[in-house]
Structure 1
Amino acid sequence: MPSNESPQQPTPPSPSTPDPAPARSSTSRLVPSSFRDLPSVVWTIFAGTIINRLGYLVTPFLVFFLASRGVTGSDTSYVLGALGAGNLLGPAVGGILADRIGRRPTMLIGLIGASAAQGALFLAPGVWTMAAAALLISAAGSTVSPAAYALLADAVDSERRQRAYALFGWGVNIGTAVAGILGGYLAAHGYWLLFAVDAGSMLVYALVVAVRLPEPRRTASPRKTSGRKDGIGYGVVLRDRLALILLPLFGIQLFVYSLTEVALPLAIHDSGLSPAVYGAMAAVNAILVVALQPFATAWLARFPQLAVQGAGGTLIAAGVALTGVADGIAGYTVSVVVWSLGEVVVAGIAAGVVANLAPAHARGRYQGAYSWTWGTARFAALTLGVAVYTTLGPSVLWWTALVAGTTTAVATVALTPRVTARTAHELAV
């Protein structure tokens, strides 16, 4: 984090008056150029995200933990299904709370609730109590993202939002990459360490939020200022026709990307390769994203956002589809490199576009809708993706990913004139 920024902002930033860019200092030269002008709020969320993701240990090792407790077979699916279902519930609640009670309170509720749920899962005596705790972990944890996304949108202007979200994603990847190494070491010394570090990292992030993040001044809703009825929930999003077109397109692209988490290990297993190969592929992805994303974000900023999103989405679809023709470590490495480059290209764009479409008073709900789209895509990959792979065959899944990913990429680019006109209108207002 740039050292010239004071620990506390003297006045909480307003959504209509984002933080100015920090002054240049000698240490700021260590920061990638694409991120240097981002304000302290963004850097605080970045640092907190790394801390939080360093403790993202329980979920990757959950199957192994359940097996150690004697939970196997169909009973495991109940717990994993509950974990996925929480990702559908949490973003919807988080988006509403972010707009109703504030960004910071919502983040604190989610972080503290998820931390408590980690302890509940470790101590749960049976399958159904484990499933309930898993549901609470993912539901509480996923309420944080809409509030954090909305706070990032409050803190910066529309020109810098993509970079702010890209920095957020960079923090996720940095923390996840380190957690992958840390998790294996801790699991070998006792699963309780995974839960302790996971819960502790959430509490540390909650402390960062409480001490370092200011709550922006609330923006009055149109219902209060112009008499237009806004509703108490997601009506403001459901009436937005452009958002209702974009979100499903983003969702399909996210579904294709999520196949890298569930279908790739199945393919590697079916090729007769060891789990260590999948670990190596995850390391390739993490190294590429962490190393390239800051530079790619700076270089790609000169191009239209949706054109870049379309190009990146095509790379992801092509990389996932290449999994179907891979027959060894070299082939899988090529496929991972291709979709990892796509991941680098699209970093921060979808969330930034959604933020620019949102009225200031509804940013939390728009980001809640986007996060819910993310959760739906991941849940579909875990269920529908695996079902297609195991019943219809791997080739059907890979061709579906290629066609769906490229088609939605083209459709997304075609919406550029409408999104540009809408963004210009929102800025004028």
Structure 2
Amino acid sequence: MGTFKDIPRAVWMLVLGIFFNSVVAFTFLYLFVYLTDERGMSVPQAGVLTGIGGVGLVAGNFTGGWFGDRFGHRRALLCAAVLSGVTLVLLPLIPIAALYALLPLCNYAQGAVRACNGALVAVTVPDAVRRQGFALMRSASNAGFTVGAPLGALLATQFSYTVIFVADGVGTLLFAVYAARVLPARGRERAKPGPGEQRGLWRELRARPAVAVLLVASFFADIVYRQLFSTYPVFLTDHGHATQVYGWMFSINGGLILLLELPVTAALRKRPPLAIVGAGLMLVGLGYGLLMFGAGLALAAATMLLITLGEILYKTPANAYVADQAPAHAQGRFQSLYAGVSVSGVVLAPPLGGALYEAAPGVLWPLCTVVAVLAGCAVVGAGRMRPRSLAGRTGVGAGVPVPSRSAGTREGTGA
């Protein structure tokens, strides 16, 4: 089993670009404020427009990998990054009515960039260090966000919100130029199915029931996880905590991820991936469960600690497991499926959690606990599933990978 030193140079270079792109990707943090401030929209109008943009983001994650499988992952990444950069620059310049079309397009491109980044890591990194490759990508993204959030606030305060859109757009275009230079123009970015391999995505998924279970569990778990960005701060405010407390809670989240994700991934690289994912989802559920006992600072901090540890455990191994199980010719589509379900809560968590919190606030946290724990149990149970045959055949000829101990792609084989 390899370590970080076995990750190819091209991936390290891509990760450096992802860090830079995350530093300038601060517009989504301040979009709502920008719409209600500089654009003069009402809160309900801004909410509708932001929600429409969220749909575009999820759609981009779900479909970006398809373009990579069809046209090449490098080419798809560059096209999506250019589209994202151009639309970001144009957003402050167009009338409000046009935002309803341009914002979803911009978010769609950003979602596609995320899916293409994941697909490029999946097809470039050797199987034995795939988890480490995804952990490196996540760490770079989180580190960039940690730097970018206060930088965006500084630019908005000193200049205007318009400046941060232009800075984000120009930075994204620079990322596209950088990626075009550092990523190989040819290589393992695209794979065609060999004789007997199946092209149908749903047939490939049916042949891998553990992947299907993981995707469904991740969909529901993300709705629970993203209550952290919607009902959790409202809960803290309703219990008398100032806005700064929520900021401190997120400093715990960001700090722990930056400190622990890479060493934890390396330490657990030989452990069965779905067992790790399941444990992580259960920790997320237990974190929300603590809120049933109150909203004191100690409980709020313990909640954030458990959720963050759960996030560290489940996100990287889940992404790597999907990549390990994907047939070569559908790697991008598998990555898009996981990318899509892993951001589904962006659209669904605020309205669902908000409605339940308004109607029955005492029910929200127990329900979050139950959903996340059940999702974790389902993923752990999926570790005992085995790939099914396609057209009466199993193995590579049927498009189902035959995992090896060194690749670490199956439960029970020292993954």
SS at match of 1:160: helix
C-alpha distance in structure 2 between counterparts of 1:110 and 1:159, whole Å:
29
SS at match of 2:135: helix
Structure 2 counterparts to residues 266-285 of structure 1, below 5 A: 266-285=234-253
Segment drifting more, 282-291 vs 344-353: 344-353
Q: Is the CA contact 2:288–2:366 (under 8 Å) kept in the aligned structure 1?
A: no
Is residue 374 from structure 1 mapped to residue 349 from structure 2 by the alignment?
Answer: no
C-alpha distance in structure 2 between counterparts of 1:344 and 1:420, whole Å:
27
Segment drifting more, 314-323 vs 233-242: 233-242
Deviation at 1:72, TM superposition (A): 1.7
Match of 2:132 in 1: 163
- Aligned residue pair count: 392
Match of 1:37 in 2: 6
Deviation at 1:142, TM superposition (A): 0.5
* Equivalent in 88, 102, 106 of residue 118 of structure 1: 88
Amino acid at match of 1:93: T
C-alpha distance in structure 1 between counterparts of 2:371 and 2:360, whole Å:
17
Give per-residue Cα distances to partners, 1:398-428, cap 9 Å, x unaligned.
1111001111111111111325899996146
Give per-residue Cα distances to partners, 1:65-110, cap 9 Å, x unaligned.
1121211221111211111111232123312101000111111111
Gaps of 5+ in 2: 389-393, 405-415
Deviation at 1:200, TM superposition (A): 2.1
* Equivalent in 311, 318, 332 of residue 343 of structure 1: 311
Is residue 356 from structure 1 mapped to residue 324 from structure 2 by the alignment?
Answer: yes
* Equivalent in 236, 243, 248 of residue 211 of structure 2: 243
Match of 2:257 in 1: 289
Match of 1:220 in 2: 192
Taking structure 1 as the reference length, the TM-score comes to 0.85
C-alpha distance in structure 2 between counterparts of 1:371 and 1:166, whole Å:
15
Is residue 104 from structure 1 mapped to residue 74 from structure 2 by the alignment?
Answer: yes
Is residue 413 from structure 1 mapped to residue 380 from structure 2 by the alignment?
Answer: yes
Give per-residue Cα distances to partners, 1:188-246, cap 9 Å, x unaligned.
11212211221122112111210001143432224xx23x6625x76644665443322
Gaps of 5+ in 1: 1-20, 22-33
Give per-residue Cα distances to partners, 1:290-324, cap 9 Å, x unaligned.
01112111212232111111111111111123234
Structure 2 counterparts to residues 13-412 of structure 1, below 5 A: 34-68=3-37, 69-126=39-96, 128-189=97-158, 190-214=160-184, 215-217=186-188, 218-222=190-194, 225-226=195-196, 230-231=199-200, 236-237=204-205, 240-393=208-361, 395-412=362-379
Amino acid at match of 1:249: A
Deviation at 1:141, TM superposition (A): 0.5
Q: Is the CA contact 2:209–2:387 (under 8 Å) kept in the aligned structure 1?
A: no
Q: Is the CA contact 1:51–1:175 (under 8 Å) kept in the aligned structure 2?
A: yes
Deviation at 1:392, TM superposition (A): 2.8
C-alpha distance in structure 2 between counterparts of 1:387 and 1:93, whole Å:
29
Q: Is the CA contact 2:14–2:182 (under 8 Å) kept in the aligned structure 1?
A: no
Q: Is the CA contact 2:209–2:385 (under 8 Å) kept in the aligned structure 1?
A: no
SS at match of 1:426: coil
CA 301–317 in structure 1, closer or farther in 2 if over 3 Å, else same: same
C-alpha distance in structure 2 between counterparts of 1:55 and 1:134, whole Å:
17
C-alpha distance in structure 1 between counterparts of 2:208 and 2:402, whole Å:
17
Taking structure 2 as the reference length, the TM-score comes to 0.88
Deviation at 1:132, TM superposition (A): 2.0
Q: Is the CA contact 1:259–1:320 (under 8 Å) kept in the aligned structure 2?
A: no
SS at match of 1:273: coil
Q: Is the CA contact 1:311–1:409 (under 8 Å) kept in the aligned structure 2?
A: yes
Segment drifting more, 414-423 vs 311-320: 414-423
Q: Is the CA contact 1:147–1:364 (under 8 Å) kept in the aligned structure 2?
A: yes
C-alpha distance in structure 1 between counterparts of 2:207 and 2:402, whole Å:
20
Deviation at 1:362, TM superposition (A): 0.5
C-alpha distance in structure 1 between counterparts of 2:82 and 2:358, whole Å:
38
Deviation at 1:48, TM superposition (A): 1.2
Give per-residue Cα distances to partners, 1:7-53, cap 9 Å, x unaligned.
xxxxxxxxxxxxxx8xxxxxxxxxxxx52221112212211111111
Q: What is the identity percentage for the equivalent residue pairs of Structure 1 and Structure 2?
A: 28
Segment drifting more, 99-108 vs 112-121: 112-121
CA 124–251 in structure 1, closer or farther in 2 if over 3 Å, else same: same
Match of 2:391 in 1: none
CA 330–183 in structure 1, closer or farther in 2 if over 3 Å, else same: farther
C-alpha distance in structure 2 between counterparts of 1:193 and 1:419, whole Å:
52
Deviation at 1:60, TM superposition (A): 0.9
Q: Is the CA contact 2:81–2:109 (under 8 Å) kept in the aligned structure 1?
A: yes
Match of 2:408 in 1: none
Amino acid at match of 2:89: G
